[in-house]
Structure 1
Amino acid sequence: MRGLTDVVRQGSLCTLLALASLLAACDVKNISELEEGVSTEADVRERFGTPEAVWEGEDGAQIYEYNRQPAGHVNYMITIGPDGRMAALRQVLTERNFAQVKPGMAMEDVRRMLGKPMKITTYALKRETHYDWRYLQGPNQSDSKVFTVVFDPDLRVINTMSGPDPDLERNR
């Protein structure tokens, strides 16, 4: 029976990796068709669809969140300026952004910075909640890692950590 479970897990991982590759290919094409300062909100929505969330930015801008978790390794934040044009498009699951997550930060601030996590796990006995984001620490799918933010019961950051993607580790 154990062998069957391993085959199912490996099949699920293959499906996730295939889906992630397909999304990445679509994203590359969609991004190449957009230009900062020229493309409009309608252009962004046509290529990326409805955002996962819309955040208020500075000076009347809106920040659209496009999430690629749990299968993908990226989350995009696209800023639409007050003039209705795309002001910025950035992939936010980066080491630089992870380094900005500090103890005491509120969960909503982390969520706004990194987008929706791939997984949220509550550990009642430890009185902690872990938010996990999958990201790449290199050019290949085998470079998949997980960034975890640990929150206290008030949803304030306690600490952070990065490690190997357990889905890849299980199937090696």
Structure 2
Amino acid sequence: MRFAALALCTALLAGCATPDHDGRLRQGVSQEADVVALYGQPRRVWPEGDGGRTLEYSSQPMGKHCYMVHLGADGRLIGIEDGLSPAGRARIEPGMTPEQVGRILGMERTRVFFRLSGEDVWDWTIEPDQSGYGMRFNVHFKDGVVVRTTQSMVFRDRRFPMGD
């Protein structure tokens, strides 16, 4: 009985693992095949200048993380970061291109073009702040480059409590 309970707890904990906190992945040891076996095919694969690759595991539109798994030219794990963390979002600066933003934040939740301002605004669902309301990180592009970033609260509609 105890063994069955232990096995169940282990399975549940493994199911909650994320690439950045997964003890099964070890820097300098784990290979790309190990990552794919645990987390499936990435949403996108970004080639790196040194011959390595970055695997993108974005949880958009509903999730709040985008794990970027960095692999060396030899296919070994170099590191993992959450592009949607506060540190990742802080890297977005005016003048960046959409590709540069995508390589940091991953696949966006939505894109909306505002005709009057001429801005194309991409957004990502992010961890809520202390208010408890849902949050979005917005990147405003004009003429193909970032002009600014903003954050917005998501207020739930009482008629549709599960939607946003």
Query: TM-score by structure 1 length?
Result: 0.75
Q: Residues 1-34 of structure 1: CA distance to partner in whole angstroms, max 9, x if unpaired?
A: xxxxxxxxxxxxxxxxxxxxxxx82536982321
Aligned to 1:92: 83
Residue 102 of structure 1 corresponds to: 93
Structure 1 unmatched ranges of 5 or more: 1-23
Deviating above 6 A after TM superposition, structure 1's stretches of 4 or more consecutive aligned residues are none
2:146 equivalent to 1:160: no
Match for 2:108: what amino acid?
Answer: P
Give the corresponding residue for 2:134.
144
The residue aligned with 1:123 is: 114
Distance in 2, matches of 1:106 and 1:74, equals 21
Query: Percentage identity across aligned positions?
Result: 31
1:124/1:38 CA distance change after superposition, 3 Å: same
Name the aligned partner's letter for residue 74 of structure 1.
H
The answer to whether structure 1 residue 133 and structure 2 residue 124 are counterparts is yes
1:69 alignment partner, one of 43, 49, 60? 60
Amino acid corresponding to residue 120 of structure 1 in structure 2: R
Structure 1 position 145, deviation (Å) = 1.4
Q: Which runs of 5+ in 2 are unaligned?
A: 1-14
After superposition, the C-alpha distances for 1:46-105 in whole angstroms (9 at most, x for unaligned) are 111111111122421101111100110000100111121111111110222222211111
User: In structure 1, how many angstroms separate the alpha carbons of the residues matched to 2:81 and 2:150?
Assistant: 23
- Give the TM-score taking structure 2 as reference length: 0.78
Q: Which has the larger radius of gyration?
A: 2
Q: Counterpart of 2:157?
A: 170
Q: 1:83, 1:98 → 2: CA distance?
A: 29
Q: Name the count of aligned residue pairs.
A: 145
Structure 1 residue 107, shift from structure 2 partner: 1.0
- What letter corresponds to residue 99 of structure 2 in structure 1? E
Per the alignment, in what secondary structure is the counterpart of residue 38 of structure 1? coil
* Mapping 1:8-47, distance limit 5 Å: 25-27=16-18, 31-47=22-38
Superposition RMSD in Å: 2.5
Higher helix share: 1
**Matches of 1:95 and 1:30 in 2, distance apart?**
17
The aligned counterpart of 2:11 is none
Structure 2 contact 19–25 (Cα < 8 Å) conserved:
no
The alpha-carbon distance between structure 1 residues 29 and 110, as it changes in their structure 2 partners (threshold 3 A), is closer
